[in-house]
Structure 1
Amino acid sequence: MSHPAPEPTDSLTLSLTDRSAYSYWTRDHVRFQDLDRLGHVNNVAFAVYCETGRVDFAEATSPGSTAGTGIGWTIVRLLIDFRAQAHYPGEVMIGTRVLKLGTSSCRIGQGLFMDDVCFATADSVMVWTDVAAGRSLPLPDDLRTAMGRYL
Structure 2
Amino acid sequence: MSALQSDGFRFWTEEKLRNADTDQFTHINNAAIATFFEAARMEIVAPPQIRALMDGANLAVVRLLIEFSAELRFPGRVRVGTRVVEVGNTSFKVRQGLFDERHETCCATAEAVCVLLHGETARPHPIRPELRAYLLTDDATETLV
- The TM-score, its normalising length taken from structure 2, stands at 0.85
Identify the match of residue 33 of structure 1 among 20, 29, 35.
Answer: 20
Identify the match of residue 84 of structure 1 among 70, 78, 88.
Answer: 70
Asked if 1:138 corresponds to 2:136, the answer is: no
Any conservation in 1 of the 2:53–2:128 contact (CA below 8 Å)?
no
Percent identical pairs in the alignment equals 32
Identify the match of residue 74 of structure 1 among 54, 60, 64.
Answer: 60
Q: Distance in 2 between matches of 1:103 and 1:83?
A: 33
Identify the match of residue 59 of structure 1 among 46, 63, 79.
Answer: 46
Q: 1:90 to 1:64 in 2, by over 3 A?
A: farther
**Partner of 1:108: helix, strand, or coil?**
strand
Any conservation in 2 of the 1:128–1:137 contact (CA below 8 Å)?
yes
Q: How well do the aligned residues superpose, as a CA RMSD in angstroms? A: 2.2
The count of corresponding residues between Structure 1 and Structure 2 is 136
Please tell me the residue identity of whatever aligns with 2:105: V
Q: Distance in 2 between matches of 1:111 and 1:79?
A: 12
Any conservation in 1 of the 2:53–2:131 contact (CA below 8 Å)?
no
Identify the match of residue 125 of structure 1 among 113, 119, 124.
Answer: 113
**Partner of 2:120: helix, strand, or coil?**
coil
Asked if 1:108 corresponds to 2:94, the answer is: yes
Q: Distance in 1 between matches of 2:107 and 2:87?
A: 26
How far off is 1:52 after superposition? 1.2
**Partner of 1:106: helix, strand, or coil?**
strand
List gaps (5 residues or longer) in structure 1: 1-12
| Alignment match, 1:93 | 79
- The TM-score, its normalising length taken from structure 1, stands at 0.82
**Partner of 2:41: helix, strand, or coil?**
helix
